[in-house]
Amino acid sequence: MGYKYVLFDLDGTLINTNKLIIESFKYTYKTVLGLEVSEEEILKYFGEPLIVTLGRYSKEKADELFKTYIEYNESRHDDTVTIFEGVKELLEELERQGFTLGLVTSKRKKVALMGLELFDIKKHFDVFVALEDTELHKPNPAPVIKALELLGAHPSDAIMVGDSVFDIHCAHGADVKAVLVKWSAAHGFQGDDASADYVVHDTKELLEIIKR
């Protein structure tokens, strides 16, 4: 296949923000709307832009929901987020083997940088596409298309790695192959296995797919 470029999602793929995101949504819905929302319901929308998810529950209070979520999430970030096993080694090995890496996230750049810098992995990425960088967002292909443009890459030379159906659809819309990682909390709640080109269970398996 001969991939040259590897695009990664961030949350649920490289860093484990699952606990933080679930807690942030629950706190926000309870505080602003008085709603008790289940973990299963929250997991259905993992991977889409925050403002879109919050708007599902109240468009009228979207700004208040957003502000409450951000304040809670950022205050708890460094104490709650972890990096998935094998991720640092994977990124180092891919670089060593000559792959060019890009990051494609639905997060705001400021918050995404908090995670990248917390675990010292920002240095591995040649391009970094965040929420502010495109008008349209996952599952629309615009973020992956933007990353390809910045890299000067052809879609057939790239592969996208993510943990949600939004990542898979975003990649496919840009004619890029997609890998679904199964170490995320979102897996199993979005019915996404069948749409992915590859499904992997750990970083060693992922490396073998990328090297094909």
Confidence class for position 47, pLDDT limits 50, 70, 90: confident
For residue range 111-144, list pLDDT tens digits in order: 999 999 999 999 999 999 999 999 999 999 999 9
Question: Catalytic pick from 9, 11, 163, 167?
Answer: 9
Measured CA angle at 183 (ends 39, 25), to 5 deg? 25
Q: Rounded to whole angstroms, what are the CA distances from 148 to 3, 6, 60, 95, 145?
A: 13, 10, 36, 18, 5
Q: Per-domain residue ranges for the chain? A: 5-16+82-211, 18-80
pLDDT tops 70 at residue 21: yes
Biggest CA pair distance of the chain = 52
Q: Which residues contact 38 (CB under 8 A, 6 or more apart)?
A: none
Handedness of CA 33, 38, 39, 40 (dihedral sign): negative
Question: Is CATH 1.10.150 what the domain over 18-80 is classified as, yes or no?
Answer: yes
Fold: same for 5-16+82-211 and 18-80: no
Spatial separation of the C-alpha atoms in residues 8 and 84, rounded to whole Å: 13
pLDDT tops 70 at residue 192: no
pLDDT tops 70 at residue 43: yes
Cβ-in-10-Å burial (0-12, 13-18, 19+) of 202 comes to middle
Token pair recorded at residue 105: 């996230």
Tell me if 46 sits within 8 A of 186, measured CB to CB. Answer: yes
Spatial separation of the C-alpha atoms in residues 24 and 137, rounded to whole Å: 21
Q: Is 9 a catalytic residue?
A: yes
For residue range 69-109, list pLDDT tens digits in order: 999 999 999 999 999 999 999 999 999 999 999 999 999 99
Spatial separation of the C-alpha atoms in residues 156 and 144, rounded to whole Å: 13
5-16+82-211 topology per CATH: Rossmann fold (3.40.50)
Spatial separation of the C-alpha atoms in residues 165 and 147, rounded to whole Å: 19
Q: Which single residue is written with the structure tokens 């496919």? A: 172
- Fill in the DSSP letter of residue 11: B
